[in-house]
Amino acid sequence: MRTLLRVDVGAGTVTSEDLPEELRLLGGRALTSVMIAKEVDPACDPLGPANKIVFAPGVLAGTTAPNSSRLSVGCKSPLTGGIKEANSGGQAAGRLGRLGIAAIVVEGDPNGKKWILHLSTEGARLEDGTAFWGMANYPCAAALRAAYGPKVATIQVGPAGEYGMRNSSVACTDPEGNPARHAGRGGVGAVMGARGLKAIVVDDTGAARPSLADPERFDRARKTLVNGLKTHPVTSQGLPNFGTAILINIINEAGALPTHNFHYGRFDEAEAISGETLHQNCEDRGGKRSHRCMTSCVIHCSNVYNDKEGKYVSSGVEYESIWALGANCDNGDIEAIAQMDRLCDDLGLDTIEMGDTFGVAMEGGLLPWGDAQRMIELFEEIRHNTEIGRKIGNGAGHCAQAYGVTHVPTVKNQGIPAYDPRAIKGIGVTFATSTMGADHTSGYAVAPNILKVGGDLDPLKPEGQCALSQALQEATAGFFDSTGLCLFLAFACLDQADSLAAIPEMVSALFGVEMSVADAVAHGGKVLEIERSFNKRAGMTEKDDRLPDFFYKEELSPHNLTWDVPDEELNQVCGWSPVVELG
Amino acid sequence: MRTLLRVDVGAGTVTSEDLPEELRLLGGRALTSVMIAKEVDPACDPLGPANKIVFAPGVLAGTTAPNSSRLSVGCKSPLTGGIKEANSGGQAAGRLGRLGIAAIVVEGDPNGKKWILHLSTEGARLEDGTAFWGMANYPCAAALRAAYGPKVATIQVGPAGEYGMRNSSVACTDPEGNPARHAGRGGVGAVMGARGLKAIVVDDTGAARPSLADPERFDRARKTLVNGLKTHPVTSQGLPNFGTAILINIINEAGALPTHNFHYGRFDEAEAISGETLHQNCEDRGGKRSHRCMTSCVIHCSNVYNDKEGKYVSSGVEYESIWALGANCDNGDIEAIAQMDRLCDDLGLDTIEMGDTFGVAMEGGLLPWGDAQRMIELFEEIRHNTEIGRKIGNGAGHCAQAYGVTHVPTVKNQGIPAYDPRAIKGIGVTFATSTMGADHTSGYAVAPNILKVGGDLDPLKPEGQCALSQALQEATAGFFDSTGLCLFLAFACLDQADSLAAIPEMVSALFGVEMSVADAVAHGGKVLEIERSFNKRAGMTEKDDRLPDFFYKEELSPHNLTWDVPDEELNQVCGWSPVVELG
């Protein structure tokens, strides 16, 4: 039986209980969303004492399943005002799985106390975290290793989260101990910070893998999946060799790379920030062009980026970050982008939200377009919690309000990621209708729209995009976000029926149940329904399931298209009834 | 036939048309709300080019009706995101009535141009306003008089509105030409500023009063009303002798004076900022303790406040402003309050929103509690549009987000006025359910709850408050906000049936129609319905018709009561159906 930990930061206590029977098969996002929906008042202030933060590895965490160490972080979001699950790679989730921990619920009013939560085979305890409070993520990770042993994995909040900024992440350390993997979106860091919890230290020394109901069945399914990943061109060649940054040229070519705060679909300097440039630099400078963010990974899509002197800058300079801090801000300086990626990791900021914020701030006149040096300087404003820092640390929507900017790429107040919805309509549906706010990972329609993985649907046409996005959103919630498996497995699973089937098969073998592909899809649909209900109780309406007005009105070059997926179809994705107007 | 002016700030043109037949009987708020609901997309960005701003005097403007020069300003609010009507005293509305102008619709994208709209018997024209752009309200009013003649009335936007700040007002000049009367709430100034319209200059030289269908009938009704006002103790003695500031001691005594950002219901230093103190100073220093904000006024509740040297500081230092910049911020310095009232008028800021913002900023640590000197300094940050200035110039909700404050007295993001809803439950219902966000003027239940005018209902009990507030909201919209009559007439009309009946009687005599008291109430109800429909289409739900969470949870001293009007009753006021939950 897996364990549910309740951490009361007011009393300074940790209690351990068996995961209730009705939650037995839940993990990751399914578990965080069910618990938040059950235990958190949708009307509460997300930064107030009534909010809770739940950490949950997926159900396959700690097993030999490939890429199975994603950590889900759930709460009411200070950014969207709705329910939030953000997940991260890194080492922590796998270790929580080995310790038999299904979820950690952190609650209560710390009344100014600062905490470290220490987890090991000897149990769970809260310790005084005052000495670590105020540290940025990199020095904090090093200090925690110095204090608790070189092999611990840590889950941390950086300065932005400590300051209660609405763009603030929860960081997880990677195999090298770098706090470079983040549950980035929705301001989860501020909720952890509001609980006074600086870090969770996970020491799995002496812990065994979870026991399997049917080890042979599990291993058969695992091998099927690993074999699929080793043969699909995206997971065996594309991602290992080129990483996510390969998308810069692909999406730019597709005319969908948001440039100059979503005013254009192509960036003149794309080549300078492309995956090809990035990876050449990685090789030339003694970095790595194929790196894993968790030891269970079989894909290795990440990288290690060094500066010209060969000194480590950041690990996992990803497509979304390069776009956000690059093209969206008219910035073609890859060195500056890598440096800002490191600053985001160190301060605990989501790179996507940060890039959207800079775009809005440039539109509002805070700094010149493309001024990478000024961008870097502005991170110091966040680090020191200055007036400007608070203005750009609270996300694109807040920054737009502050400067009176009306061209604001957000949905549910969360910044839109690296794909212009006018030129990739499927992902636009996901941005509009996701329970999470604009979020590419919650239904990655870019795959069939652009990469021709899992289907082939014309990205420029609205037809069929809602059905596509809906199916992907259910599959994502059901197969990946709840199992703790990396979403990139989907590239293989969307094309390989046996790889997809291997996922519920592993879950079946783990728990001794029978879960089919259809069951997993239905499970995902149920998770979405619970999340939508929370959002509705928090006051969201069908108006929140819309893209910003300018996408409907302004044409995007080079295709010169507007957003034209009918609102009625978006309503169907989200289960909204036809509107009956008063008066 | 009254005239509708359309001002296109993009083309630089003004067109004049007859007010359409179906709008013939509408004025003030009824007219602005109908036009905004009809012509403005509820999904548009309030600061973007799709929003419009409508100026409309009431139907009785320009007639001999007492106190009939209130000007309604309507738009989609940048503060609440819903429909907005804010109204102001001063001279402009009466003069618009004499010019036969029913409404001015300002629309289009100015593309950087700055305008003055000049209105006279010779017609309407847009003129280059570049020379006036950037001026604060007091010097701007003087400059406009110098340019257009000493007798013009002006309607102006100050620096806060020019900067697009969400706390920004539209100012109207009083009989002395001081821009001291404001359509304060909801950020209407920013919408005027976004249209590039610095001021409207109203010159009624040579204009006659509106022609009356039945002059004798009108005069009979007018005399009835004036007689009522001259005999009711509140309008004939209380308000003329003591002004609105008399409420400081009354509301403090009632334990409902929000103190220290709505943490307490009584202020230790109330006496120092009381109406009695204020009016003594007015007398002692050559100011005025009985002053009128419009020439048609028969009440004279305003004042002229001079400093110790006898130099003019501000006119109409009102209860709400004294509370906001005083008790709510632990500030007992009446001189500083008067100075800040002047600064609000000069910069074009709503005093209520400003005081709520300071309370939140003090809670967030920007400045010490009660530090009046620092408060005054912070206005200079707004004047110069600095980083801090933008943070406190965008209202309490924005400021709370910026500093991570969770104790935020707003409804629909608009700051709550000077009555704690836990101790005056009727006004709490109005704050929660008004279409305008927290707004005391939209249904002033303080009258029967505290002043025992228009009834007597225990302020501490929830029973009956919803019915009371609903009736007052309908009456306010129907009798006052749409006729352009000052709301303070209600003190007499609530107790005198013939005074109340005189209002629709004057409208009947003006237009040659038959309007009864019941018709006026129904008219008010219809206005509310149109506004609610707009807000619903803008994405509001029953969750927006609620007070902040802390009122439900924290007891207010000295009565130690929480907010306990049932949500279901609030829903009935607003016409929300019982909620059916998903899943």
The Cα–Cα gap between A334 and A315 comes to 14
- Please check whether residue A530 touches B, CB under 8 A: yes
Q: Which amino acid is at A22?
A: E
Return the CATH number of A212-242+421-539+550-583, one of 3.40.50.1100, 1.10.1790.20, 1.10.599.10, 1.10.3720.10: 1.10.599.10
Residue B583 has pLDDT above 50, yes or no: no
Helix runs in A44-168, H state only: 92-98, 137-148, 159-162
Dig out the tokens for B420 from the structure. 């704690």
Fold of A258-419: 1.10.569
Q: How far is CA B22 from the centre of its chain?
A: 27
ipTM, two decimals, is 0.82
- Indicate the residue of B41, B391, B394 with minimum beta-carbon distance to A387: B391
Q: Which of residues 498-517 of A touch B (CB under 8 A)?
A: none
**A234 Cα to chain B: minimum distance (Å):** 37
Chain B CB contacts of A435 below 8 Å: none
Across A244-265, average pLDDT: 97
Residues 6+ apart with CB under 8 A from A38: none
CB contact under 8 A, B549 and A45: yes
Contact B430, B445 (CB under 8 A): yes
Inter-chain touch B543–A546, beta carbons under 8 Å: no
B 145-164 near A (Cβ less than 8 A): 163-164
pLDDT tens column, B486-510: 999 999 999 999 999 999 999 999 9
Q: Is A38 on the interface with B (CB under 8 A)?
A: no
Q: Residue A166 and residue B47: Cβ atoms within 8 Å?
A: no
Mutate to test the interface with B, among A413, A543, A547, A570 (most CBs of B within 10 A): A543
Q: Cβ of A530 and B583 within 8 Å? A: yes
Mean pLDDT of B37-42: 97
pLDDT band at A578, cuts 50/70/90?
low
Cα gap B566→B500, rounded to integer Å:
31
CB contact under 8 Å between B549 and A50, yes or no, is: yes
To the nearest whole Å, the CA of B393 is away from the closest chain A CA by: 9
Write down the domain spans for chain B: 3-202, 213-242+421-538+550-583, 257-419
Chain B touched by A522 (CB under 8 Å) = no
Mutation target for B interface from A388, A399, A541: give the one with most B CBs within 10 A. Answer: A541
Chain B residues near residue A391 by CB distance under 8 angstroms: 387, 390-391, 402
Q: Are A562 and A554 in contact (CB under 8 A)?
A: yes
Q: What three-state secondary structure class fits B364? A: coil
pLDDT tens digit string along B292-324? 999 999 999 999 999 999 999 999 899 999 999
Query: Nearest CA to CA, how far is A56 from chain B (Å)?
Result: 23
Specify the DSSP element, H or E, that contains A553.
Answer: helix A549-553
* pLDDT confidence tier of residue B582, bands split at 50, 70 and 90: very low
- The structure tokens 């952190």 sit at A106
Contacts with A530 from chain B: Cβ below 8 Å: 583
- Under DSSP, the state recorded for A259 is B
Q: What mean pLDDT value characterizes chain A?
A: 96
* The token pair that represents B90 in the structure block: 């001063």
Phi, psi of A167 (to 5 degrees): -100, 95
Distance to chain A for B85, nearest Cα, Å:
19
Size of interface A-B (CB pairs under 8 A): 102
Chain B contacts of A533, Cβ < 8 Å? 581-583
Residues B193, B155 contacting (CB under 8 angstroms) = no
User: What average pLDDT does this structure show over A98-127?
Assistant: 98
Q: List chain B residues with CB under 8 Å of A398.
A: 398, 401-402
From the list B404, B539, B575, the residue facing A582 with the nearest CB is B575
- pLDDT tens for B516-549 read 999 999 999 999 999 999 999 999 999 999 999 9
Given a cut of 60, whether residue A351 has pLDDT beyond it is: yes
In angstroms, the Cα distances linking A399 to A354, A432, B150, B212 are 10, 21, 42, 52
Task: Give the distance from residue B10's alpha carbon to the nearest chain A alpha carbon, in angstroms.
Answer: 18
Class of domain A3-202: alpha beta
Among residues B362, B347, B368, the alpha carbon closest in space to that of B399 is found at: B362
In this prediction, residues A259-273 reach a mean pLDDT of 98
Q: How far is CA B145 from the centre of its chain?
A: 25
Token pair recorded at residue A579: 């509107």
CATH 3.30.2310.20 is the classification of domain B213-242+421-538+550-583: no
Q: Which run of H or E residues covers position B312? A: strand B312-315
Query: CB distance from B412 to chain A under 8 Å?
Result: no
User: Does residue B522 sit at the A interface (CB-CB below 8 Å)?
Assistant: no
Task: Report chain B's mean pLDDT, rounded to a whole number.
Answer: 96
* Residue numbers in B near A539 (CB within 8 A): 541, 543-544
Closest CA relative to residue B87, chosen from B202, B169, B206: B169
> Cβ A583–B529 below 8 Å, yes or no?
yes
Question: Among positive and negative, which fits the CA dihedral A162, A177, A183, A405?
Answer: positive
Closest to B324 (Cα-Cα) out of B338, B312, B304: B338
Closest C-alpha to B520, from B490, B477, B489: B477
B403 in contact with A, Cβ within 8 Å: yes
**Disruptive mutation site among B390, B394, B545 for chain A (greatest number of A CBs within 10 Å):** B390
Considering only CA atoms, which of A241, A380, A217, A216 is closest in space to residue A300? A241
Q: Is A195 on the interface with B (CB under 8 A)?
A: no
CA-based nearest residue to B42, from A261, A410, A581: A581
Cβ pair A390:B398 closer than 8 A: no
pLDDT at residue B550, as a whole number: 95
Nearest residue on chain A to B574, alpha-carbon basis: A582
**A166 chain-B contacts, CB cut-off 8 A:** 401
CB < 8 Å to A50, chain B? 549
- Is pLDDT at A377 greater than 80 in this prediction? yes
Q: Please give the pLDDT value at position B384.
A: 97
* pLDDT at residue number A523: 95
Q: What burial letters (b/e) apply to B482-500, b meaning 16+ CB within 10 Å?
A: bbbbbbbbbbbbbbbeebb
- Structure tokens given for B52: 């419009």
Architecture of domain B257-419: Orthogonal Bundle (1.10)
Range of weakest confidence among A17-21, B239-243, B411-415:
B239-243
Instruction: Examine the pLDDT at A207 and tell me if it is beyond 80.
Output: yes
Distance from the Cα of B543 to chain A's closest Cα (Å) equals 5
When pLDDT is cut at 50, 70 and 90, the band that residue A580 belongs to is very low
Contact A583 B546 (CB under 8 A): no
pLDDT at residue B578, rounded to an integer: 59
* Closest Cβ–Cβ partner in A164, A401, A538 for B166: A401
- Tens-digit pLDDT profile for residues B346-357: 999 999 999 999
Long-range contacts of A45-49 (CB under 8 A, 24+ apart): A45/B406, A45/B408, A45/B549, A46/A75, A46/A76, A46/A77, A46/A78, A46/A81, A46/A187, A46/A190, A46/A191, A47/A78, A47/A164, A47/A190, A47/A191, A47/A194, A47/B404, A47/B406, A48/A194, A48/B406, A48/B549, A49/A108, A49/A109, A49/A194
Count, residues in chain B: 583
Q: Do B390 and A391 touch (CB under 8 A)?
A: yes
Is the entire prediction scored with pTM above 0.80? yes
Residue A394 burial class via C-beta count within 10 angstroms: exposed 0-12, middle 13-18, buried 19 and up: buried
Distance CA B112, CA B10 (A): 9
Interface of A with B in 328-367 (CB under 8 A): none
Q: Is the pLDDT of residue B212 over 70?
A: yes
Average pLDDT (B472-495) is 96
Residue A409: CB atoms within 10 A of its CB come to 28
Q: How confident is the model at residue B404 (pLDDT cuts 50, 70, 90)?
A: very high
Quote the DSSP letter at residue B259.
B
Does the pLDDT of residue B576 top 90, yes or no?
Answer: no
Using CA atoms of A379, A381, A382, A384 in order, give the dihedral in degrees to the nearest 10.
130
pLDDT at A242: 86
Distances (CA, A) of B356 to A519, B77, B428, B574: 52, 18, 16, 25
Q: Is the pLDDT of residue A581 over 50?
A: no
- A76 touching B, CB under 8 A? no
